Amino acid sequence: MPIVVNLDVMMAKRKISSGELAEKIGISPANLSILKTGKAKAIRFSTMEAICKALDCQPGDILEYQANQD
């Protein structure tokens, strides 16, 4: 998929662990792992809002479009 999830990059910048973020945004660590590894097929606005709030960032910091990816 040409949409790349840069969640791990933002998490490293904010020095926050997966468990801590999962708890803050109210999703299971398994679902956060699906999102981090790029296996997710869609992301809810509510989840994106919670992530942006927890990491103090914009949706564009989490998602990136790369045309050369398949």
**Site residues (CB under 8 A) for other proteins?**
27, 31-32, 34-35, 39-44, 47
Report the distance separating Cα 5 and Cα 39, nearest Å.
10
Q: How far is the CB of 25 from other proteins (least distance, A)?
A: 10
Nearer to other proteins, 6 or 47 (CB): 47
Nearer to other proteins, 15 or 41 (CB): 41
As a whole number of angstroms, the distance between CA 12 and CA 40 comes to 20
Q: How far is CA 5 from the centre of its chain?
A: 6
> Are 40 and 48 in contact, with CB atoms under 8 Å apart?
no
What's the closest the beta carbon of residue 15 comes to other proteins, in angstroms?
Answer: 22
